Structure 1
């Protein structure tokens, strides 16, 4: 394996601590793709709503910009009990060694795909106060990225790869694990590999990549977790638990780049679609009064 010293220096600076979900750069690029491809009216509404994020009263987790909004949901996890309820909303670790079964991993709506659907409905509901709508927007901007991070969608009882110590080429700090690699260094390398995926897509590309439901997207990400993330790291994705640090060499990293790029593209274009649907005035509704 050959890694330029400057690459290692940059990786060391950017990834000196474990991440909870897609890193800042990846989440930000998902948001950027989304706003480039959403309807202009939608993008304007999103930016107007982000200017109201001080209503959330989280000054240590600003969300005034798309980049800030895209990682707000991770930032507020550090605010103690206030947002602790949202911790299971970032993932749904469906067993990759059994038939796809999202319901088991999504009891009572406490999983990422159910929360994506919920945030869209909150944004469409005319009775929801402004503060809650703003919060629904920043949750949605984050959770769509999380769902497309393969190790948030499928695992083998190892906390989404957090329990699999791993090395990314020559980069092997003690805290690094398989989950963290897919969160940040691999995601960042995939996104910055030419040609750029942060762009305006044509109608045919958008229709193909943004299609499906949250369950379809869950299944796709679960399959990438099994067939790419765990297979490259372990050989047999359902084999014995590794007893030593897993090594991803340059060939394995290269094999993961295109699947990772595709997941970020999908996330950005699907977020664009959901924002269009959530903020379309024609799709707003007023819930019927609850009957006794």
Structure 2
């Protein structure tokens, strides 16, 4: 049994850079797509050569594990250990999700990128705004964002990071990404304006506050079951909606 747990923990540590699972990134990107201005939608269609934001929503997770894009591996998260804030926590030299999102937005707004680099930056931004809203991507460096915290998911060995990436969203609703958008993206104009306010750094810090509560609710060895899913489904829905609307805001500003 000890050897099995060691395998689970080591396997989990390889997933530190991953944010929401495929479904979560697809949902976030589709909510954004549904809230684009006509001008932004047309420009994004041009930049992505006819593909939608959803098509590339998960591209960076794979790309970050190739030599060409290995420099982006730390861009998916920003670790905040207990007792620290984003501002006081030692930073990743290669950058984190906050610096990456800010830099990509600035590059895209500059209108100075080649067509190839513009498409690359846009694909990265679509993914990283989603990561910014995945709570465990502000987790502790000491436990690899929850990767080394063993839990069970309906009795099966897992880790805290992996259940928040994929298991919980999939257990919350067995919907396609279009069904997710149809069911949860129902904000009034005033609610959307409120959610879209602020900066990427402020959005991330909001996620980090949620992460603190998740740590408190999920000590090592927790058996995640129906009660846990019921408790956190609304939070997951809110993070998808926030991520989608905030991504749309950034894209609408870039391609206004």
Q: 1:72 to 1:103 in 2, by over 3 A?
A: farther
Query: Which 5+ residue runs of structure 1 have no aligned equivalent?
Result: 1-16, 53-63, 235-241, 281-292
Map 1:1-292 → 2, pairs under 5 A: 20-51=18-49, 64-79=51-66, 81-95=67-81, 97-102=82-87, 104-108=89-93, 110-155=95-140, 157-170=142-155, 172=156, 174=157, 176-190=158-172, 196-199=182-185, 201-227=187-213, 229-234=214-219, 242=220, 245-280=221-256
Inter-partner Cα distance in structure 2 for 1:102 and 1:38: 32
CA change 1:210–1:188 in 2 (3 A) is farther
Q: Retained in 2: the 8 A contact 1:93–1:155?
A: yes
Does the CA contact (< 8 Å) of 2:139 and 2:146 recur in 1? Answer: no
Rate the CA distance shift 1:200–1:45 in 2: closer, same or farther, 3 A: farther
In structure 2, the gaps of 5 or more residues are 1-13
TM-score by length of 1: 0.75
Higher helix share: 2
For residues 96-137 of structure 1, give each alpha carbon's deviation from its aligned partner in whole angstroms, at most 9, with x where no partner exists: x21423453535560001111111111111222111111110
**Structure 2: how far apart are the matches of 1:213 and 1:70?**
21
RMSD of aligned residue pairs (Cα, Å): 2.3
Q: Which has more radius of gyration?
A: 1
- Shift of the 221–74 alpha-carbon distance from structure 1 to 2, 3 Å rule, reads same
SS in 1 for 2:142: coil
Please report how far the alpha carbon of residue 198 of structure 1 lies from its aligned counterpart in structure 2 after TM superposition.
4.9
Say whether the 8 Å CA contact 1:190–1:261 is kept in structure 2.
Answer: no
Runs of 4+ that moved beyond 4 A: 191-198
Q: What is the CA–CA distance in structure 2 between the aligned matches of 1:46 and 1:105, rounded to whole Å?
A: 35
* Residue deviations 1:153-193 (CA, integer Å, cap 9, x gap): 132620011111222224x1x4x211110001212344658
